[in-house]
Amino acid sequence: MESSIVDTVVLVAISVVGAALARRVGLVAPLVLLVAGLGLSYVPGFPEAHLEPELVLIGILPPLLYVAALQTSVPAFRNSLRPILFLAVGLVLLSAFVIGFAVHWMLPQVPLSACIALGAIVAPPDAVSATAIARRVGLPRHVVTILEGESLLNDATALVLVRVATGALAGAAVGFWEITGQVALKAGGGIVIGMIAAVVAAKLHKWVDDPLLDDAVSLLTPFVVVIIAEELGASSVVAVVITGLYLGHRIPYLLSATSRLQMDAVWRLTTFLLEGVVFLLVGLQLRTVVEHIETSMATTISVTSLVFGLLIAVRFVWMYPSTYLGRLFPRVRAKGPRVPISVPTVVAWAGMRGVVTLAAAQTLPAPGENGVPDYPRDLFVFIAFAIIVLTLLLQGTTLPMLARRLGVREDTSTQDALAEAGIQHAASRAALEALEKSADGAPASVVDRLRGLVESRSNNAWERLGSQQQETPSAAYGRLRREMIRAERHVFKIARNEGRIPEEVLVRAQRELDLEESQLHRSEE
């Protein structure tokens, strides 16, 4: 027990250091952690790592998907639903079958169902690395939405197909209608369970009025949803995504300001640690996976190269027709102007694999288990791990350069500031009207102070449009107020150290100062 606790602490510490290093050198954290894990696997005495598929599918994937869904704009998701579904369903199925038939052609002794299972395992891209790069590079917002939406739904398609294919490998009779029926049943069940869970969770959030209880409800929600969906045979991925999308859209109406701030901090820390540890473990396991391969090196390299090449080729082949053929229909053309060819090119290259591929690979049944015939399971697991590494190393490092070369970048700061300033003006008018209605009996000094606060917020919004001054009034205010807060903190700390105030007074005063300084920082972002 002590050894496992120490190992866990060491892994978390390494993932934190690796993420900090990645930010310092300007690389994506998953890539740095994967390479770090691979290097540490060759350090004598370093503990071996093994991730159980159930832990990934039930303990790690649900919170990551849930947070991604919470942060996804439902209107933007709905507007991009057509390209999202084309990628999350159509491309995953096409990739799985193309790779399955190609691998079966190279290894005719391996059952076709096992090869299709391999195709489904490597088909879905991962959200963590792709969207991290997309936001850092400054890709257009609709491109980021498509990448996020794809990664939210493609896991469900891939995991259902993996289960169907492994069931066929064990001797179950599976045809087109059986596959279609299972996909529809699992997806439909996931939608129903997700909506019910979302309504229940929303009522719980509405009922509790303690930020800690809100955090507890939010942390438990994805795990409860997954467990119920798995027990009922529905798609747990779809259920979690539906729950997250609904609650994310309703959060402004469900939670207090304190709960929203605290929950955001809790989930940011949770996802940061989960993502870091997962990619570190992928690197740590790679050496063990390589050592268990019984297939010849020539065959291993050729099959891995084939799968990797086909994944990239199929994604490119799919992207252009799915982007432009729809414009033959007037309804699609009416939604917006023609997309430059550089956009589908960048989306096609943003196909890094990650957590789902890792978990799905380890769900492959062992030969001889429940009537499963002999097939090169170790080779297939290695291919899955290799695809994760290769896509992160190749596409993850070159995607920013490709986006810059093709000019697929979007600076919406001015547009966002203009929209914010307009809405803030309307919000300020509403605030002043509310103040006038409720000001009877209040001291005039308090009313004047609140009017000044409203005017200051409205002025700050207009300043973001791009003042040519060396330092805007709001920037000067933030800089000076931070210096004042540091001085106030110092006085309280000295008073506590000298015994003039108890610790509780210091904690309360420091919390108020921290909240104000945090607000200053947020207003300048």
CB of 356 closer than 8 Å to CB of 240: no
Prediction pTM value = 0.81
Quote the pLDDT of residue 97.
92
Quote the pLDDT of residue 106.
93
Quote the pLDDT of residue 461.
63
Quote the pLDDT of residue 468.
47
Chain segment 1-59, per-residue pLDDT in tens:
456 777 778 888 998 998 888 888 877 788 788 888 888 888 887 777 777 777 777 88
- Percentage of the chain modeled with pLDDT above 90: 17
pLDDT higher for 256 or 216? 216
100 has a pLDDT exceeding 70: yes
- Give the amino acid at 386: A
CA separation for the pair 346, 137 (Å, rounded):
12
Per-residue confidence band for 469, with pLDDT thresholds at 50, 70 and 90: low
Mean pLDDT of the 474-499 span: 84
Residue with tokens 């057509």: 82
Q: Please report, for the chain, the start and end positions of each structural domain, with discontinuous segments joined by +.
A: 2-408, 415-466, 482-525
Quote the pLDDT of residue 524.
55
CA separation for the pair 387, 95 (Å, rounded):
14
502: phi > 0 → left, psi -120 to 50 → alpha, else beta; which?
Answer: beta
Chain segment 130-183, per-residue pLDDT in tens:
666 666 666 777 788 888 888 888 888 888 888 888 877 776 555 556 666 777
195 has a pLDDT exceeding 90: yes
Quote the pLDDT of residue 123.
92
**Range of 11-20, 57-66, 300-309, 331-340 with top mean pLDDT:** 300-309
pLDDT higher for 331 or 380? 380
Mean pLDDT (the chain) is 82
| CA angle (345, 349, 353) in 5-degree steps | 150
464 has a pLDDT exceeding 70: no
> Reduced to 3 states, what is the DSSP secondary structure of residue 89?
helix
DSSP for 324-391 reads HGGGGSHHHHHTSSPPPTHHHHHHHH-----HHHHHHHTTSPPTTGGGPPP--HHHHHHHHHHHHHHH
317 has a pLDDT exceeding 90: yes
pLDDT higher for 295 or 92? 92
Quote the pLDDT of residue 417.
61
CATH architecture of the domain with residue range 2-408: Up-down Bundle (1.20)
Helix axis angle for 211-232 and 61-70, nearest 10°, is: 120
Quote the pLDDT of residue 1.
42
**Range of 72-76, 369-373, 380-384, 442-446 with top mean pLDDT:** 380-384
| CA angle (197, 267, 22) in 5-degree steps | 140
Could you count the other beta carbons within 10 Å of the beta carbon of residue 286?
A: 20
